Amino acid sequence: MRESDFIAEEVPVAMVYNGATFAVMMATPHDLDDFALGFSLSEGLINDPSQLLQMESHALIEGIELAIRVTDNASAAHLDKERQRLLPGRSGCGICGTRELEQAIRHGEAVGEGQVIARDALEQALQQLHSRQPMNAATGAVHAAAWADREGRILLVREDVGRHNALDKLIGAMRRAGFDPGDGMALVTSRASYEMVTKATSAGITVLAAISAPTALAIELARSAGITLVGFTRPGSHNIYTHPHRLQPPAPRETP
């Protein structure tokens, strides 16, 4: 018996700044405006959304080209061979093709103080997340990154075959919406690898919760950046690896 099935898209997306190609990422071709902004910010190619003047998406036979125009004072306007990547960024790799160790492990500025969030709010956000992933529900092949407020209400979700691409899309969407990255939490349906923590740091996100495990380097980077890193986020349980002061335990029940 034959049945129809939905398949996740994965295409090469070239990130071209003022005519110079920086990288080719394997990504799901949705929410590309958010991807262009979030990727540019998390890679340090621009420091502020105002430096991204224009983005045009061009469909080519080989894939998609994002023609991004930035201001002259943006780092992306002065790309040289040392910053361009040698290899395409595969969907499971956030830094493929990086030439130097200093570029691979980037230590950004520490995030702000942030807000205290009740652990019950984390539970509520987790319960909502499953129903907010339409592409994954259809294909079973994509990751999601979500932004929730302090009450646990999910405000934004972005999906992609690459976990880091999903987070870049979320970061771009957050900046467009004007959300305060210290006034809520980010949830990702993946492991918390070091590039995820690096991107969260660049965005100023103070609480990052992952469905799966963190890596040792991710924990060290989160500790130095001041991020509250949560792993193995499951209904009824989670592990807090760094800066636990931002997650408030449930209030004790009163005994009759």
Catalytic residues: 93
The DSSP string of the chain is ----------EEEEEEETTEEEEEEEE-SSSHHHHHHHHHHHTTS-SSGGGEEEEEEEE-SS-EEEEEEE-TTSGGGG--TTTS-SS-B-TT-SSTT--SHHHHS---PPP-----EEHHHHHHHHHHHGGG-HHHHHHS--EEEEEE-TTS-EEEEEEESSHHHHHHHHHHHHHHHT--TTSSEEEESS-B-HHHHHHHHHHT--EEEESSPBPHHHHHHHHHHT-EEEEEEETTEEEEEE-GGGEEPPPPPPP-
